[in-house]
Structure 1
Amino acid sequence: MHVAECKFVGCHHKSCAELPLGLHHPLHPIHPLILFDGYTYYPEENENSKCKVCKESQIEYTYRCYRCDFNVHARCASLLPTFEAEFHNHPLTPFWKLIAFTCDLCGIKEDKGIPYLCNPCGLSIHSKCAYFPRRLEVVRHNHPLHITHSSLELHESDSRFCRLCVQKVDTRYGLYYCSKCDFVAHLNCAIDTENRADINFLELKDGENKDEELDQSFELAAAYKVKKIKEGDHGTEIATEIEHFSHEHDLKLTDEEVHNNEKCDGCVRVISPPFYSCAKCSFFLHKSCANLPMKKRNPLHQHPLTLRKNLTRCDACYQRCNGFFYDCDSCYFHLDVQCSLVLEILTHKGHKHQLILSYTSFEQSCSSCGAKRNLVFHCTSCEFALDFKCATLPQTTRYEQHEHLFTLSFAAEDDSS
């Protein structure tokens, strides 16, 4: 395991135990550097904790000069003559001088940096960029993405957008790419923990399906047992009475209209036929909500999600939900029914262009409510964006005892806003 991956407190890695307690380094030849546990010396990140090589202030093992406030991570201080990058065919040689250069992989200009050089190719990259994996998978795409840092013949488009953050991509530099689908992603977007799938490609053989059995059975597990059925049109079977996991009594299917502003106990929206209801108490379920699978995958999360019923807050729209939601067994992630059904590419009546799901490390403003979110549906043609709360608003709703339905409007009828 690489030094950067260890937990430093109580670490038992053989490589960490064999680190020299001091060394002379070409970046700081005038004084020796002493090994420190970064957590002890820098309990909080600050400017002095930044590494002179990678410019990051991650708290880990570090070599430090007392006199000059010079600091370099143990992983960045390696004096190996060459480095084998996973994505490149030739060894890379560190140039141990602080110089100005532009990284050929990420495109960032450095006033004072240490490039890793490939003599046969003329490649010049940051030390941290040398650790990008050759291929990876993101939760919002079905195929592995391969890194490219050369002039591959991509499908020509008027403009290229990262399919994860929906920001422009400079194809002169490195990116992650799926040639089957013409799917493009920024390097940092693809390796972000919010986007990256939890797969070790070094252990996965080419062509092997990582979850073949799970994929086949995932959406087949129903949330109810059928008690009674009838034959519908064209010989189809219709479940007229079911036992649903969310309710103690059996539910019967009906096509009748409801006039008491009753709501579905699954999606918590106005009930409309066809729906299942309980003859003993006021419990209603849209037929579509009753048919929701017990388990499913969603592009917003890297783990499988399980259908549950409880009071919680959705991590997409940030609204409290007392109906059905999907929950992750591995971590604290919750998704209500409406947000779980939204596609990555959204056609919305409030905007003339298609909107694409966008996750960014910086917050973006919703054009409807003004809330700032990392996760929005973004337009590639203009600056229009919608957060999940506004994107999933129902087209019609009722308000208290008002006799008529209210219809969602996208512009004020007068200057009252």
Structure 2
Amino acid sequence: MWRTTARVAAPIAPATPLILKNRPTRVQCYFCNESIHWGFAYHCSQCNFNLHLKCASIPFTVEAEFHNHPLKLLRKSVSFTCDACGKEDKDKYSYLCTSLTCSLMVHRKCASLPLTVKHIGHKHTLNLIGSSQVNQSDRQICGICVKKVDTDRVYYCSKCNFVAHLDCGTHEGSMEEIKKEDSEVVDESSINDSLAYAVKKIRMGEDKIEIAEEINHFSHQQHDLKLIDELLINNENCDGCMYPIFPPFYTCAQCRFFLHKSCVELPRKKQHPFHSHRLTLLTKVPDYDVFHCNVCGRDSCASFTYHCEKCWFDADVQCSLISEIFTHEGHDHPLFLSRAPYHEKCSCCDGKGNVFKCADCEFTLDLRCATLPHTVRYRFFEQPFKLCYSTKYDSDGEYYCDICEEERDPKHWFYYCADLNFTAHPDCILGINPYKK
């Protein structure tokens, strides 16, 4: 049974003892300034002083994991720059180092920072260190919120040169339990090392580079595939990702089977930034003709999927190629995967979700836009449509989709064919299932 003391002398309270009372009306906690909506609170009737139960137990002295001396509660409202997070703040209560040789002063919440954390946004544990200990070869960007890191202390992974703000690294709901295997060294060079094909014939290319001219791929083991560098007359789709075939590609003349060279070179197993387990390249999700891509949110009937049998997690080919940092021809600066625990608006479609962010400007790109194919075909048109990022093709100043005939937002990305002078929304030209052959 839960018990508490009916009368208490709290270290942050006035000299008069506080009495535990059931508060039927809303009052404000003197310590944290948050409302006490209902239930029990410590109360002084003489001065109308109220405290949450948890705030009444705030200790006079704490032992911070990152500091060698005890920290004492300073019961005075002062403006200061926290020596842990580096933020300038006016805090009603803070902790001050009791040593005469040290002047450390920190926020209440910073006094309880753990030395090591495990965040869902990173595969390794993060250690609390001084920012001067971080590898300074690159500008430091928080790997969680994608904003500049300029504080005295950070959470850091030396294996990946991954840096996180203190608030980001300890955000409620984003921390995982630290397991023994988290601290073990993993040979990541072997994660993406399994070839999906066997080379049958090699020719020497330019600069004496070996080129696999004929191969046998796991998805079409009955016949060998030959490398082609010419554009096909008939419109064909890749039998792996279902996108239109453009050279170079591999084909089986007997079966009219086609694979992009990039799809052939996909490894059988790989690690993905959106999932904690290794994914295996399959030709179909077991027992299903259509699968849901857990990265971009689209349904797909593509042949290839990266699949996790433990979690039933799937990533289509385009989404399997996503890395935590990448460049896109639709933006001038590198984009970083945001691990922020909230959804953000995409600059290219106004949708909300998980995004890539630019550390140099306010540009954001959600996963659906990040994985849009650069070139597509539409119905019976032989001419390809290209993904475009500006309104330079709309010389008349009017922005419409030639498929649905609805108005387009000029800030949003679109598909365009110069030969046909044809413009379309991405969803209109791709349809419900862009991978259908």
- Settle same-fold status: TM greater than 0.5: yes
**Is 1:406 aligned with 2:381?**
no
Q: Closer, same or farther in 2 for the Cα pair 1:54/1:300, shift >3 Å? A: farther
Q: How many pairs were matched up? A: 371
**Is 1:211 aligned with 2:189?**
no
**What is the aligned partner in structure 1 of residue 108 from structure 2?**
127
Q: Closer, same or farther in 2 for the Cα pair 1:381/1:153, shift >3 Å? A: closer
**What is the aligned partner in structure 1 of residue 403 from structure 2?**
none
Q: Closer, same or farther in 2 for the Cα pair 1:149/1:219, shift >3 Å? A: closer
The whole-number CA distance in structure 2 between the counterparts of 1:77 and 1:328 is 48
**What is the aligned partner in structure 1 of residue 273 from structure 2?**
299
Of 369, 372, 375, the residue aligned with 1:396 is: 375
Q: Closer, same or farther in 2 for the Cα pair 1:192/1:269, shift >3 Å? A: farther
Aligned-residue offset at 1:168: 2.8
**What is the aligned partner in structure 2 of residue 250 from structure 1?**
222
The whole-number CA distance in structure 1 between the counterparts of 2:373 and 2:20 is 62
The whole-number CA distance in structure 2 between the counterparts of 1:18 and 1:89 is 35
Q: Closer, same or farther in 2 for the Cα pair 1:237/1:350, shift >3 Å? A: closer
Aligned-residue offset at 1:72: 3.3
Deviations 1:339-395 (A, max 9, x none): 2212333232223333333333454433322223342232x3332332222223222
The whole-number CA distance in structure 1 between the counterparts of 2:103 and 2:378 is 67
The whole-number CA distance in structure 2 between the counterparts of 1:73 and 1:302 is 39
Aligned-residue offset at 1:338: 1.4
The whole-number CA distance in structure 2 between the counterparts of 1:117 and 1:136 is 24
Q: Closer, same or farther in 2 for the Cα pair 1:383/1:408, shift >3 Å? A: same
The whole-number CA distance in structure 2 between the counterparts of 1:51 and 1:329 is 50
**What is the aligned partner in structure 2 of residue 44 from structure 1?**
none
Q: Closer, same or farther in 2 for the Cα pair 1:222/1:319, shift >3 Å? A: same
The whole-number CA distance in structure 2 between the counterparts of 1:334 and 1:51 is 48
Q: Percent identity?
A: 37
Q: Which amino acid aligns with 2:165?
A: H
Aligned-residue offset at 1:259: 4.4
Aligned-residue offset at 1:400: 0.8
Q: Closer, same or farther in 2 for the Cα pair 1:186/1:312, shift >3 Å? A: farther
Aligned-residue offset at 1:164: 3.1
Aligned-residue offset at 1:179: 6.6
Q: Closer, same or farther in 2 for the Cα pair 1:358/1:339, shift >3 Å? A: same
The whole-number CA distance in structure 1 between the counterparts of 2:2 and 2:171 is 31
**What is the aligned partner in structure 1 of residue 327 from structure 2?**
347
Aligned-residue offset at 1:88: 2.2
Could you tell me which runs of 5 or more consecutive residues in structure 1 were left unpaired when the two chains were aligned: 1-16, 42-46
Aligned-residue offset at 1:397: 1.4
Q: Which amino acid aligns with 1:274?
A: F
The whole-number CA distance in structure 2 between the counterparts of 1:275 and 1:55 is 66
Q: Closer, same or farther in 2 for the Cα pair 1:190/1:326, shift >3 Å? A: farther
SS in 1 for 2:85: coil
**Is 1:376 aligned with 2:365?**
no
**What is the aligned partner in structure 2 of residue 32 from structure 1?**
19
Aligned-residue offset at 1:101: 4.8
Aligned-residue offset at 1:399: 0.9
**Is 1:416 aligned with 2:390?**
no
**Is 1:231 aligned with 2:211?**
no
Q: Which amino acid aligns with 1:255?
A: L
Q: Indicate conservation of the 8 Å contact 2:42/2:56, yes or no.
A: no
**What is the aligned partner in structure 2 of residue 64 from structure 1?**
41
Deviations 1:37-89 (A, max 9, x none): xxxx9xxxxx87x98766789xxxx9734897955365x65465533322222
**Is 1:176 aligned with 2:155?**
yes
The whole-number CA distance in structure 2 between the counterparts of 1:399 and 1:322 is 18
Q: Indicate conservation of the 8 Å contact 1:306/1:327, yes or no.
A: yes
Q: Closer, same or farther in 2 for the Cα pair 1:109/1:71, shift >3 Å? A: farther
**What is the aligned partner in structure 2 of residue 268 from structure 1?**
242
Q: Which amino acid aligns with 1:350?
A: G
Of 91, 115, 130, the residue aligned with 2:94 is: 115
Q: Which amino acid aligns with 1:185?
A: A
Q: Indicate conservation of the 8 Å contact 1:164/1:185, yes or no.
A: yes
The whole-number CA distance in structure 2 between the counterparts of 1:142 and 1:369 is 30
Q: Indicate conservation of the 8 Å contact 1:197/1:302, yes or no.
A: no
Q: Indicate conservation of the 8 Å contact 2:238/2:260, yes or no.
A: yes
SS in 1 for 2:365: strand
Deviates further, 337-346 or 286-295: 286-295
Deviations 1:127-177 (A, max 9, x none): 3323322244667778764324576687498x7532432223333x43224
Deviations 1:253-298 (A, max 9, x none): 1335654433224323113442355956x76443433443343222
**Is 1:105 aligned with 2:84?**
yes
Q: Which amino acid aligns with 1:115?
A: S
Q: Indicate conservation of the 8 Å contact 1:104/1:125, yes or no.
A: yes
The whole-number CA distance in structure 1 between the counterparts of 2:114 and 2:280 is 31
**What is the aligned partner in structure 1 of residue 67 from structure 2?**
88
Q: Closer, same or farther in 2 for the Cα pair 1:369/1:199, shift >3 Å? A: same
Larger of the two Rg values belongs to structure: 2
Aligned-residue offset at 1:20: 4.7
